[in-house]
């Protein structure tokens, strides 16, 4: 993931459901890297949920990193 981001991948690119990479982040390290590269935790998906809320369900420590 780091290499893709360093090569210009968009940290806020959306999939067909409106999810960004931050929605899929499973670890504190992944969240931290994405945030350092400009990932926005308040972007809403197609049903109005935010990445930081999804992360909080899986991992409280990662949610703290997401902001």
Distance CA 60, CA 63 (A): 5
Q: Considering the entire predicted model, what is its pTM? A: 0.82
Average pLDDT over residues 35-41: 93
- Which pLDDT does position 33 carry in this prediction? 94
Q: What is the pLDDT of residues 4-30, one digit of tens each?
A: 999 999 999 999 999 999 999 888 889
Alpha-carbon distance of 17 to 45, in angstroms, equals 6
Burial class (CB in 10 A: 0-12, 13-18, 19+), 43: middle
Q: Distance between the two ends of the chain, CA-based, in angstroms?
A: 20
Instruction: State the CATH class of domain 2-66.
Output: mainly alpha
d(CA 63, CA 2): 20
């Amino acid at each position: 993931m780091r290499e893709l981001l360093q090569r210009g991948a968009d940290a806020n690119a959306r999939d067909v459901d409106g999810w960004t990479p931050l929605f899929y982040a499973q670890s504190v390290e992944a969240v931290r890297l994405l945030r350092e590269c400009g990932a926005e935790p308040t972007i809403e998906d197609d049903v109005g949920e935010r990445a930081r809320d999804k992360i909080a369900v899986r991992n409280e420590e990662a949610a703290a990193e997401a902001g």
